[in-house]
Each structure stands twice: as C-alpha cells, then as structure tokens.
Amino acid sequence: MGKAQTIFVCQQCGKESIKWLGHCPDCDGWNTFVETLRAAASQTATIHTSNTPRELCQIADEDKPRLSVSMEEFDRVLGGGIVPGSLVLIGGDPGIGKSTLLLQICAIIAHGHKKVLYVTGEESLGQMRLRAKRLGLEGERLFVLSETNFESILAHIQQVSPDLVIIDSIQTVYLDELGGAPGSVGQIRECTMRMMQWAKKENVPVLISGHVTKDGSIAGPRVLEHIVDVVLYLEGDPFSAYRLLRGVKNRFGSTNEVGIFEMKNEGLAEVANPSEVFLSQRSKETIGSAVVPTLEGTRPLLVEIQALTSTTSYGPPRRIANGIDFNRLLLITAVLTKRAGLALGNQDILVNVAGGLKVNEPAADLGIALAIASSLHGVTIDPALVAIGELGLSGELRAVPQPERRISEAAKLGFKRCILPLTKRPNAPSSIELISAASVREALRMALPKGGDKASAA
Ligand SMILES: Nc1ncnc2c1ncn2[C@@H]1O[C@H](COP(=O)(O)OP(=O)(O)OP(=O)(O)O)[C@@H](O)[C@H]1O
Ligand SMILES: [Mg+2]
Ligand SMILES: [Zn+2]
C-alpha cells in the first residue's frame, strides 16, 4: 500500500476534492471542507466477491415478519413495524426526545421476548438507568452498552446477538482506521455503511439516531439519507409538548406519514385524536383565529391558525411567521392587499399555529388569510367554520388535494360549515354545509360577519 493519502471532504454533502476548497460547488456551502485520511476503501469491494447473481424467482421469500412495536403512531410511520435487516435513521433537534423514543421502543420489543442491544455514545449507563426508571421501564432482555469505538461495538453486537440494535447517536461513533473526528462526514458515512452491511448480512434491524444541524439537515447528512432504508424525523416546538414523527424516506412503506406524540414525564405518549387535542384550548369567538383541516400524510389534522395585526409604530411593517412558511405569509399578505383591498401596508402581522405545529401546505392559505382579515377588522369568524384553499396570485382560490378527508374530519369534530374552492363538489357528510368561493374576496365576504369587505365597499 502507498502512503496514506488525505482528501478534503465537504461536511455538508460529502463532496470529495483533492485540494481544499473554500466554497463547495455541489451544495454551495462555505468553509465546509475538512481534511480526511483516505482509508483503504477498496477493502469493501472485495467483501462481495462471494456473491453471485441469482435469478429473482429463485430467491426464497423472506419469512421473518416485521417487528411490530405495538405503538400505533410509530408503526404507522414505518408502514407497519420494523423490517428485519433494515437500517432506520431517526433524526431530530438536540433534546427533542430521540433517546426517549428509542428507549421506549426497545422496552416494548424486549417485553415481547426479544433481545435488544442499546448502544449509547452520549450517556453513561447510570443516566440510562435513571431515564428507564422515570419512564417506568423494566430492563429484562434489554442490554445497554456505553461505547463509541465502532469495531468494539460490532464485537459486542456479535456476542449478544440481539434481535434489534440501537445506536444512539451515529455522530458519536468512530472507526480507528479513519481520520477525522467522530461526527465528521467520513466517519458517519463509513460507520453507517458498515452498520448497513451488518444489518443486511444478519437480517437484524438497526435503529440509529442523529442530530440535525441548525439548517435542519442531519450533520453529514444527505449522504446518510441515501444510505439508510428509512429516514424519520422527530420534530416539534421545544416549548410545546407535542412531537411529530415524520417519515421522510421509506423503502418499505409510504412516506409523509406522521405519528403524533405528547412528551410527558413518563415519556412519549401516543396522541390518538390529535385534532381534538390541538383544538381543545381554542376559546370560541376569538378574533384572528381560523381553523384549517390540514393533511399530514394521509391523515387529516385540524389546526388553529392565529393572526394578530397591529399598526406599525416604527420603521417598516414587520411580518412574523410561527409554524408557517415566511414567504407564504408574504404572498398571502400581498394577495390580501392587492386582490381583497385589505389595508395591511401599515400593519405588523404575526401568524402563529397553535400547539407549536408546522403547517407547510398551501391548502392552509385561505385559513391564514381569514385569520389576518379577522384580526384587521376586529371581527370573529364563526367558530363552527373551517376553511381550505390555496391562494393564487390573482386572488383566486385553487383546489387542494383530498378535500373529502379534510371535510369529514371537520364534520366529525362538530364543525358545521366549510368554505372551499369552487370545484367539483366533494362528497361530504350531511352535517356540514359546503360553501364554495371562487376568490379570496368572496371567501372573506362569506366568512366575516360584516366589515369583512370593508375596503371594497368604501
Ligand atoms: N423529568 C422529566 N420530565 C419530563 N420530561 C423530561 C424529563 N427529563 C427530560 N424530559 C424531556 O425529554 C427531553 C430529552 O429527551 P431525550 O434525551 O430523549 O432527547 P434527545 O433527542 O435524545 O436529546 P440529545 O440530542 O441530547 O440526545 C427533554 O427535552 C425534555 O423535554
Ligand atoms: Mg439522546
Ligand atoms: Zn458540499
């Protein structure tokens, strides 16, 4: 072998270069290249020479069933249990509850007479014990190991021969033979790849956790997302107890499913009827509040949008968006000003989604517009009304996907009227009245009792 070679690797996207670069041409990152020892990479290629091509129909069916977690919210996101031999990445902000969730899953699996090995690189065994105690978990068949050296972890895994392995977190694990600190792209990628090979060879599932960086990607990130089979993100507002587990990639099921949990003293509890919970704190007859039936994956979720407008006292008017996209707020504000004649030019506007939820769907546009208009005019929106519709730039209301699901969820929770875009009439329960509107101006007139269209009347 020649002398050890070093290369430079972008810590954001994994691009390699033989010389240092200040700016990454692939991901536009600045100062992201770090010198790394090039390891004997050819070694991985030889492992597979014993594999020969086989006819697809000759391969025996996998008869090992999925490991069901009997935690419906988690199973739903995975598409029904953990597939044997799969590598699942659970990402999330620091402190959001990844370790808590993983430990709870372990306990459930171990309770079902399976052996589980939980490898922690971040906490001492004493801390683990404390957490388990707080969560009220027993520890039978649940083995814990505090270790960060990958080779040594692998040796322990072989020895314990568990039915499920947890690595918490992948950023703390390192391979001696590689240069670079734990958590660098090279380390994370290589460790993940080897874990994957092990999982596939032994047909044992592995769950790994990873922190995300400030910009929301898993540190050493997109590289990881394509290696692993399943990527889940645990997200939520740090000041709210609710956590959403979102499927971002899934080789064995649909993505975009969400599981909804509440962080309690005893750990993450499933929230079975989220719409009810998120609306429970809503006081009727509130100015600047509108309810929108959104869709999270295939699941309808009613959320309350709150808006507050107040006359700007100094400088240019401010826009603050909590839980919705800032640019979306600018667009809606512009459409309301231009197409519905609302005088928002001298108003600060704050929009917030109750419960710390995030709503990314354009289907929520109309609800946001109604909340803003309600606050501006100081009138309440009928508390039994929900609104769906995307706003176009000329003020028209556009159709949204799957209106039926949204409407029936609203009906189930006792809402009586729904404003929606003028399209083919969706099927809806008779308890809810459908009101179609072609434009945002029309929708405002219908939703706001009076003064809703003040500007145009003047
Ligand atoms: N005694 C407690 N009672 C209620 N909730 C608690 C308690 N202790 C911790 N928590 C919750 O658990 C969260 C930490 O969970 P956890 O350690 O699982 O997060 P994590 O995502 O693994 O964090 P890290 O990135 O640091 O590993 C805290 O933010 C807090 O919300
Ligand atoms: Mg943790
Ligand atoms: Zn890059």
How far does residue 27's CA lie from ligand 3's centre (Å)?
4
Atom of ligand 1 nearest to the CA of 122: 27
Does the CB atom of residue 97 touch ligand 1 within 6 A?
A: yes
- Using a pLDDT cut of 70, give the percent of the chain over it: 91
Does the CB atom of residue 65 touch ligand 1 within 6 A?
A: no
Does the CB atom of residue 265 touch ligand 1 within 6 A?
A: yes
pLDDT-derived band at 218, boundaries 50, 70, 90: low
301/293 Cα distance (integer angstroms): 6
73/245 Cα distance (integer angstroms): 8
- Residue 111 pLDDT exceeds 70: yes
Q: Which of 34-43, 67-76, 203-212, 345-354 has the lowest mean pLDDT?
A: 34-43
Judged by its nearest atom, the ligand closest to the C-alpha of residue 15 is 3
User: Looking at per-residue confidence, does 419 or 296 come out higher?
Assistant: 419
What string of DSSP letters covers 365-382? HHHHHHHHHHHHHT-B--
Kindly compute the dihedral angle of the four CA atoms of residues 74, 80, 84, 85, in this order, to the nearest 10 degrees.
-70
CA distances from 346 to 306, 386, 444, 449, 453 (A): 19, 28, 20, 24, 18
How far does residue 211's CA lie from ligand 1's centre (Å)?
13
81/67 Cα distance (integer angstroms): 5
Q: What was the pLDDT predicted at 457? A: 37
For 347-382, what is each residue's pLDDT tens digit?
Answer: 999 999 988 888 989 999 999 999 999 999 999 999
Q: Which of 29-38, 47-56, 76-85, 267-276 has the lowest mean pLDDT?
A: 47-56
Judged by its nearest atom, the ligand closest to the C-alpha of residue 31 is 3
For 384-438, what is each residue's pLDDT tens digit?
Answer: 999 999 999 999 999 999 999 999 999 988 899 999 998 888 888 899 999 999 9
Nearby residues for ligand 2 (ion, Cβ within 5 Å): 99
36/6 Cα distance (integer angstroms): 5
Does the CB atom of residue 104 touch ligand 1 within 6 A?
A: no
The residue nearest atom 4 of ligand 1, judged by CA position, is: 265
Pocket test for ligand 1, best of 90, 93, 96, 168 (most atoms within 8 A of CB): 96
Judged by its nearest atom, the ligand closest to the C-alpha of residue 220 is 3
What tokens were used for 290?
């509108």
Q: Which of 63-67, 73-77, 190-194, 413-417 has the lowest mean pLDDT?
A: 63-67
Judged by its nearest atom, the ligand closest to the C-alpha of residue 237 is 1
Q: What was the pLDDT predicted at 120? A: 94
How far does residue 233's CA lie from ligand 2's centre (Å)?
14
Does the CB atom of residue 99 touch ligand 1 within 6 A?
A: yes
Does the CB atom of residue 338 touch ligand 1 within 6 A?
A: no
For 303-329, what is each residue's pLDDT tens digit?
Answer: 999 999 999 998 999 999 999 999 999
